[in-house]
Amino acid sequence: MKYSLGLAIAFLLGLLSSGAQAQGTVRRHLIYFQDKTGTPYTISQPQAFLSARALARRSRQGIAVRPRDLPVNPAYVAQVRAVSGSPQVRYTSRWLNAAVVACDSATLGRIYQLPSVKGGQTLSRLPEAPYAAPAPASAPAARTTAEDRATYGKAYAQNELIGAAAMHKAGYQGEGMQIAVFDAGFPGADQLEALQLLKQQGRIAGTRNFVDGGTSVYQRNSHGTNCLGLIGGELPGTYVGTAPHATFHLCITEDVASEYPVEEANWLAAAEYADSVGVDVISSSLGYNTFDRPAVSHTYADLTGRTAIGSLAALGAARAGMVVVNSAGNDGNNSWRYISVPADADSIITVGAVDSLRRHASFSSYGPTADGRIKPTLSAMGVASAVLSATGTISRGNGTSYACPELAGMVAGFWQANPTLTAQQVISALCRSASQAQAPDNTLGYGIPNFVAAYNLLHPGAPLAATPVAAGGTRLGIYPNPSHTGELTLVLPPSLQRQALRVRVLDVKGATVLERSLPAQATAEVLLHPARQLAPGTYQCVVQPLAGGSTQTVRFTQQ
């Protein structure tokens, strides 16, 4: 088992496997190329290999496109494919200037003779074999009425612990943010009632299967479905995830049938895919330290953040301006004890687990890294988390695997609320406002983050309420929502009446597109116009008393 259990990839870069390989047996190998000389791609024309959204993410953060971002020279790939023996190039890596190739030993020897090839290593000791898809998931089980009372159902505690419930009330549920989920499969995710809005609203933006090839992901192991539900689930009264309105990319990188270094190469390919399509946040509940072939397993000394391919991949994703959120691992109770790969990577959020009472989960892996850095980075609820199954039932589960996506959704909402921040500034704000910010350790890291605390750290002049305000006339309202006429009416709660107000309307990027000053008045309803100047889209209306006091926010749609 690999998700967060600390099973992993420990080979040194460029080291060839010393094990014998049967003649004619097809296995996967990582082939490194000498250079990118002669490539038709240039850093001055990045639109040829990076999407407009990817380039916009980099531009907002001042991240330049560098030679490492250039695709592998297609001429070198063509040379590999032309070698006798019919080698299959499964995918390439821009950041490592390499390709994953399936071939037998004789063909591999001929590939190593190419002048463009620098070296390589064997990633899988098992023969290539077609994957047999499992039978379709059974129909979702009927929901019980016991959990239909509260909006979040069984998922309330995990949302409340990190401030996600308050984040949602403030109007941030992941709108406009893109999250990539790396895992072992997503069976049922296209059928479950709690995930139907993702399908109906076109918020599954992409799928990739790096284990079998192609784009079919609603198969294999249901661990990915569990993790997707923790972020994107939305069935009010029963189950709500931490960023239910985000857009997702689903990637299978993990093969639960075996444990070989190829899975970290899959993770690398998925990270480069996420970069190219403009993903903001990566959620990965995967970890590696021990392989089926002990000779290539990791040692603690490898946890430098720059030794394993998975760690280099996570660092590359961070350098490209994404926030990588990865589970710490569940090895706290066993002889390994420490975090795994890629949780050791620098500049990412490594997530440990606590229970609903904020106590460390004994299974949650410890730091530090081999080079002395504090790990985990932050912690979230991973004991008795409410988890959505592939059949639609909701059960309780333990693991940093679950703490990770819970926090990834909050990260997306926090970045949505603060769109001018860089990825590293997002991580810094969450750490500086977390429960152990003044005394971080290698058990909980900087502690348990909270959306409200982090938001107020950045907005001391316009703080959010410390706890969600109850419904029933005490919250700011707006109608009609969605608006078709171009006129909007604010419904002011008593706390905002009889005082002068500043009203701002923000677009999904956080830019102010409309601002008004309202005089003190006793009426509860105020016409806000001309709203006709707003283009169709989703907006946040922020109302702040000019004399000071709590700010309230409401989300609306202009059609």
Task: Examine the residue annotation and report whether 223 is marked as an active-site residue of this protein.
Answer: yes
Radius of gyration, CA atoms only, the chain:
24
DSSP label at 141? Answer: P
Question: Could you tell me which residues come within 8 angstroms of residue 321 by beta carbon, excluding any fewer than 6 positions away?
Answer: 57, 58, 60, 61, 63, 422, 423
Structure tokens at 352: 């440990």
Give yes or no for a contact between 119 and 14, defined as CB atoms under 8 angstroms apart: yes
Count the Cβ atoms, other than its own, within 10 Å of residue 77. Answer: 18
Q: How far is CA 313 from CA 352, 428, 451, 515, 519, in A?
A: 20, 21, 28, 43, 54
Task: Examine the residue annotation and report whether 401 is marked as an active-site residue of this protein.
Answer: yes
Cα 351 to Cα 445: distance, rounded to the nearest angstrom: 8
Number of helices (H), then strands (E), in the chain: 12, 22
Task: Examine the residue annotation and report whether 183 is marked as an active-site residue of this protein.
Answer: yes
DSSP label at 526? Answer: E
DSSP label at 496? Answer: G
Helix residue ranges, H only, 83-221: 105-112, 156-161, 164-169, 196-200
Count the Cβ atoms, other than its own, within 10 Å of residue 78. Answer: 11
Catalytic residue, chosen from 183, 255, 275, 280, is 183
Q: At what angle do helices 223-232 and 400-417 cross, to 10 degrees?
A: 30
Catalytic residue, chosen from 29, 168, 223, 245, is 223
Q: What are the contacts of 156-161 at 24+ separation with CB within 8 A?
A: 157/356, 157/381, 157/386, 158/230, 158/242, 158/356, 158/380, 158/381, 158/385, 158/386, 158/402, 158/406, 159/240, 159/242, 159/406, 161/354, 161/356, 161/358, 161/380, 161/381, 161/448
Number of residues that this document lists for the chain = 559
State the sign of the Cα–Cα–Cα–Cα dihedral 218, 271, 206, 429: positive
The H-or-E segment that residue 525 falls in is strand 525-528
Give yes or no for a contact between 167 and 468, defined as CB atoms under 8 angstroms apart: no
Catalytic residue, chosen from 401, 433, 435, 483, is 401
Largest CA distance in the chain: 86
Block residue for tokens 């039978």? 135
Give yes or no for a contact between 224 and 146, defined as CB atoms under 8 angstroms apart: no
Residues known to be catalytic: 183, 223, 401
